[in-house]
Structure 1
């Protein structure tokens, strides 16, 4: 299996090189790794302890970020090496201030793993969520370098837990500790005789809660709300607006809509679909009286996490398409959450909140209307608010639990 694995990795790299002239992502994947070892050798010359954090892409980075920032805050003398597998993560975060070195991860071959570890010499390696690389984990284990997995989720259909998954179980045995998100993951590890795990939850709760605490007022949104009941619509797509537009047109609520894309064609189409008066955020400051506007359309970026404070209800977009967007930001404000019913099940927090009665999936306009009317009853509304608020509070603290382990390593 080790030979087959290595052949597959080599074939994968070869295919990407062939595709690179024609595919921008493949081109970034290949070009970003050119002369990588010489670049690493040239910049990592400091004798300070180095902690290596590896993320597949942007989503995993957000889960690793609270740990990175806690490490830098508590141990300012250490160096952080941050690696990405995907261009979508690297290109967005290549200038992230809290990492000292940011690179692509070389492909997982025996030669690359040996060379990478010999150059970087980490005192601790942190792999986020689903990152399980055979040669890197084996090389770290051989050198006695602690390797931990954080915000990890395991499922019973993964290869680790199949009768033919012996090779993949060997990868897990190279890890020093697993900080998993849920009890099922811990139980699955125990089923293959791995007891070095702790259920700590998802570090994103800490990150989102920190953002919410630090966020300031948005004066225009505050004036627009004017103490009236409001629904904040976050990261919506055209498929979401097909369900939302008729609901908005017949409802007395106020709505703050933050589209996922703020292109002129989409915002214009959104305005056309609305039969009630709307105003764009960039035009609102000059408007004499926002009370006569029922919809505030956010036509800029970067403020969504702060907007949820102005809502009694939240609708989160994306689930009718590729996948549900972040619902934790809304949950931090303790409001009922609604979203589409097609592509949310891979998100643990969505399933948890549905089961507890704090979030509700909707299939169409009629379903949205029915569930909103149910939520509008005071007892149901207050119960849903309590559920989302308590859910966030219960899941805070994953970063500190991980840091308790990291301190023992970095302080040596």
Structure 2
């Protein structure tokens, strides 16, 4: 029995199972119900005569990687409508109203019938998949319709199925891309090992996105007042495991330094726990108008959307998640030329791996390790500048992926 036939059976069984699970699970309900609206949204926004370019991303992280390309496409191909699809609710529900695309939708399941309907409505002049997204039926029908298809910001490891003895079906599907823009030399070598030589090492388009942060106005009046002339540590996207270590250091240090904590979870009960555990004078962002910011030692940020600008005021940063479910974005503080401390779980985050090796990011595994790093940094501010420069240089020398991709696109469209 052909593997494609088995794959289609599996996709249909999976879709049926998801519809059952959706009765009991809110996230899966969004996944299922959102896909029920995809075709009507496409019909509303795309006419038969429209020229379109389609980009597909899995979730929010891949959206950030695709965004620099979408922004450039908007300028270079103004007559094309930009269609953006998401796989995950955690991406779509946040960015469904993005101005970067003319319409954003959930990607229909990868069954033959759904793929044909989707491609007929979208009729793209080009398809762009970001990072990991390899859907056999979509790629098969894009190739059949002779639609140029790119995989961008791709990163591969030998652990993936494409490089395993039993990965023939997925390996064949991966081979349907017309060109690959990979993040590193290792990924290119892995592609070449299975016969795909049509790749370009371009780096990660997120670095293009991050580098643009420096061009914005990052001034925040409340941070000017809070920091004043003191050293400041900003801890972003923290989890309880991170906060325990941070709070212990804050409570015991005798150094003159201010702290900003921007937790990943900003529910009131969680914020209250942090405040009650702190022994230093603490101010809450949502109540800062009632307090003297300049006299506070700790500022708790109980809102979202400000962290990137807050990082610009930091002398040292801590990025959360490395003791919990997975590391958060280290590139945003890195672009400001600031040393970064993280927990031990950073494998699989290429930029973190690179910068730990280079020395700009320091990984700690316990309270003792964190305390020692902080003591060393605070004892020698020249080290703070030196490590921060490593991070800034990494961002600065690894940008340009989006421009490489756009040169390739311009040669086709």
TM class, shorter-length: over 0.9
Q: CA deviation at 1:375?
A: 2.9
CA distance in 2, matches of 1:150, 1:221: 37
Per-residue CA shift, 1:96-138, capped at 9, x if unaligned? 1121121111111122222222221100000011100111101
Q: CA deviation at 1:75?
A: 2.0
Whether 2:273 is the aligned partner of 1:269: answer yes
Whether 2:288 is the aligned partner of 1:307: answer no
Aligned pair partner of 1:282 in 286, 307, 314: 286
Whether 2:332 is the aligned partner of 1:329: answer yes
Q: CA deviation at 1:254?
A: 0.8
The equivalent residue for 1:122 is 124
The equivalent residue for 1:144 is 146
CA RMSD between the two structures: 1.6
User: How do 1:194-273 and structure 2 match up within 5 A?
Assistant: 194-251=196-253, 252=255, 253-273=257-277
Q: Is the 8 A contact 1:212 1:305 kept in 2?
A: no
After TM superposition, the score normalised by the length of structure 2 is: 0.95
Q: CA deviation at 1:272?
A: 1.1
Worse-matched range after superposition: 10-19 or 377-386:
377-386
Per-residue CA shift, 1:31-75, capped at 9, x if unaligned? 222264355345321523200000111111111111111111222
CA distance in 1, matches of 2:373, 2:38: 53
Whether 2:388 is the aligned partner of 1:385: answer yes
Whether 2:368 is the aligned partner of 1:366: answer yes
Q: Is the 8 A contact 1:16 1:30 kept in 2?
A: yes
Per-residue CA shift, 1:199-257, capped at 9, x if unaligned? 11111111122134213310111121112111011111211111111111122211111
Q: CA deviation at 1:301?
A: 1.7
CA distance in 1, matches of 2:100, 2:259: 36
Whether 2:408 is the aligned partner of 1:405: answer yes
Per-residue CA shift, 1:296-354, capped at 9, x if unaligned? 1112221100011111100011111111111111001111100111x321211111110
The equivalent residue for 2:158 is 156
Q: CA deviation at 1:274?
A: 1.0
Worse-matched range after superposition: 376-385 or 3-12:
376-385
- Alignment gaps of 5+ in structure 1: none
Q: Is the 8 A contact 1:257 1:297 kept in 2?
A: yes
Q: Using a 3 Å threshold, how does the CA distance of structure 1 residues 139 and 379 change in structure 2: closer, same or farther?
A: same
Per-residue CA shift, 1:80-109, capped at 9, x if unaligned? 111111122111111111211211111111
CA distance in 2, matches of 1:336, 1:293: 23
Q: Is the 8 A contact 1:48 1:79 kept in 2?
A: yes
Q: CA deviation at 1:381?
A: 2.6
Q: Is the 8 A contact 2:22 2:32 kept in 1?
A: yes
Worse-matched range after superposition: 194-203 or 204-213:
204-213
After TM superposition, the score normalised by the length of structure 1 is: 0.95
Q: Is the 8 A contact 1:123 1:409 kept in 2?
A: no
The equivalent residue for 2:297 is 294
Worse-matched range after superposition: 31-40 or 214-223:
31-40
Worse-matched range after superposition: 211-220 or 34-43:
34-43
Q: Is the 8 A contact 1:212 1:306 kept in 2?
A: no
Q: Is the 8 A contact 1:220 1:285 kept in 2?
A: no
